[in-house]
Amino acid sequence: MKHYVIVGNGAAGTNAADQLRRLDAEAKICMITEEAFPFYSRIRLIDYIAGDIPKEALVINKGQWYSNRDIELRLGVRVASVDPVSKRVLTGQNEAFSYDRLLLATGAHSFMPNIPGVEKKGVFTLRNIEDAEAIRSFADSAQHVVMIGGGLLGLETGNALRRLGKKVAVVEFFSRLLPRQLDVPAAGLLAGTMTKMGFSLHLGRKTKEIVGPDQVKGVVLESGETLPADMVVVSAGVRPNMELAASLKLRCNKGIEVDEGMRASSPDIYAAGDVAEFKGVLYGIWPAAMEQGKIAGSNMAGVNAAYEGTTASNQLKVAGIELAAAGNIDAECASESRTFQEDRVYRKFVFEDNRLVGCILQGDTRGFQAMLRLIRQKQDVSEYKDDMALKDFDFNAI
Ligand SMILES: Cc1cc2nc3c(=O)[nH]c(=O)nc-3n(C[C@H](O)[C@H](O)[C@H](O)COP(=O)(O)OP(=O)(O)OC[C@H]3O[C@@H](n4cnc5c(N)ncnc54)[C@H](O)[C@@H]3O)c2cc1C
């Protein structure tokens, strides 16, 4: 009987455990997570902050999911080290778990930039349920919130707080919102809509300092301006949780380097999800964590499966704004593209060698699933390339 140990109970670890059980009915499967909750939706933490759902609704897999599959789940347990020679995982409480194959699905943590004042009371990041609870309870007494970072997470969290009646300012280092997902015209449209919704946007601005006695009172920008703030949420990206990989001396770059079977550089050790780097890419998105977890589970069980990458795709989940982007959005306008723009609608399709490689759909996200399929399948679109940006193009016909 094989012993599988999975460190991390997120989308990657959970999908791997599920796949392992499908392929190996006899194995002993143990999942270890330092968090106090079974598998839950990080994506919906924003709905929880906004008060749209209770905490319990975040949980995706309740206890029965684990017992039905005979998967041992250890909550609130931090793995401190791994001994690859005796093939044992050691916890902070010195408990040992033997493995034949080990999956590191340790995810990522919020990156906190080195801004003076980040240690003050009232400064938050958002990654897990504890963070969301802290933000929600502190928000009760806050009026002015400054979001540092105008990416997807910053805007969605800011919107949740705006809906709670807070005055929300967004500080973004780039000169446009969502710099990774939008080009200049799309970001301009979004900025207009968000300003109308009540956001105050400070683009192309760098935070110099968070000020206040011991609690936040304001955010000073390098331009000299001071924004009033009794709460600050920093959304400056994530960094993979690499401590175990480093102590194992696994080959790492930005994340743990894996091959197409999700194998790390040491025998019988695999990595998947936000901690894994595949062909130089750290995906950092839920669908990639799911796919990678499944592939890792297959290979750990001895069934060959190859990961081929995930098309990076994102949708902004802010009510009243329709916005989706995928693949290469050609922010520099260096590739061949077709665009459509009318009122609040902007649609852009980016091509390379007659293949769709990316798109931005704003104000009208019709056809997004079809676009994802075309990008993934690398299909030749020369036949209808010139028509795709037309207002009434029928995406169902592709
Ligand atoms: C608020 C928010 C909104 C998001 N929205 C979207 C979205 O709309 N679309 C999208 O695609 N993605 C979104 N993401 C990103 C997405 O949630 C992640 O890509 C995904 O959760 C990664 O899953 P994972 O299994 O790799 O890691 P994680 O979910 O981070 O799980 C890793 C787990 O391992 C645990 N762990 C780490 N080290 C140890 C250790 N030594 N011992 C024990 N346990 C350990 C961690 O505590 C954590 O519980 C969002 C993320 C956040 C925070």
Three-class secondary structure assignment of 322-377: CEEEEECCCCCCCCEEEEEEECCEEEEEEEECCEEEEEEEECCCCCHHHHHHHHHH
> How crowded is residue 171: how many other Cβ atoms within 10 Å of its Cβ?
25
**Buried b or exposed e, range 226-254, using 16+ CB within 10 angstroms:** ebebbbbbbbbebbbbbebbeebebebee
pLDDT (0 to 100) of residue 389 = 86
Contacts of 192 (CB under 8 A, 6+ apart): none
Residue 119 in 3-state DSSP? Answer: coil
Task: Specify the pTM.
Answer: 0.95
The pLDDT profile of the chain, 398 residues, written as one tens digit per residue, is 999 999 999 999 999 999 999 999 999 999 999 999 999 999 999 999 999 999 999 999 999 999 999 999 999 999 999 999 999 999 999 999 999 999 999 999 999 999 999 999 999 999 999 999 999 999 999 999 999 999 999 999 999 999 999 999 999 999 999 998 999 999 999 999 999 999 999 999 999 999 999 999 999 999 999 999 999 999 999 999 999 999 999 999 999 999 999 999 999 999 999 999 999 999 999 999 999 999 999 999 999 999 999 998 999 999 889 999 999 999 988 899 999 999 889 999 999 999 999 999 999 999 999 999 999 999 899 988 888 888 888 887 77
User: CATH topology of 3-109+238-300 equal to that of 123-234?
Assistant: yes
CA of 230 to the centre of ligand 1 (A): 28
pLDDT (0 to 100) of residue 391 = 80
CA of 327 to the centre of ligand 1 (A): 21
The tokens for 218 are: 């304001």
Residue nearest to atom 48 of ligand 1 (CA): 8
Give the residue from 323, 345, 386 showing the smallest Cα distance to 156: 323
Residue spans per domain, the chain = 3-109+238-300, 123-234, 322-397
CA of 105 to the centre of ligand 1 (A): 9
In ligand 1, the atom with minimum distance to the C-alpha of 283 is 19
Which residue matches tokens 């968070």?
A: 210
pLDDT (0 to 100) of residue 333 = 86
Under 8 Å between Cβ of 262 and 305? no
Classify 3-109+238-300 by CATH class: alpha beta
The tokens for 9 are: 């109970």
CB-ligand 1 contact for 110 (6 Å cutoff)? no
Q: Is 362 exposed, middle or buried (0-12, 13-18, 19+ CB in 10 A)?
A: buried
Under 8 Å between Cβ of 58 and 45? yes
Query: Residue 84 and residue 104: Cα distance in Å, rounded?
Result: 13
pLDDT (0 to 100) of residue 139 = 98
Classify 322-397 by CATH class: alpha beta
Q: Give the mutation target among 34, 77, 127 for probing the ligand 1 site: most ligand atoms within 8 A of CB.
A: 34
CATH of domain 123-234: 3.50.50.60
**Buried b or exposed e, range 8-42, using 16+ CB within 10 angstroms:** bbbbbbbbbbbbbbebbeebbbbbbbbbebbbbbb
CA of 127 to the centre of ligand 1 (A): 7
C-alpha distances (whole Å) from 290 to each of 15, 16, 310, 369 are 6, 8, 10, 18
Length of the chain: 398
Partners of residue 356 on adjacent β-strands: 351
pLDDT (0 to 100) of residue 152 = 95
pLDDT (0 to 100) of residue 322 = 92
What's the number of CA atoms in the CB half-sphere (13 Å) around residue 306? 2
pLDDT (0 to 100) of residue 396 = 78
pLDDT (0 to 100) of residue 398 = 77
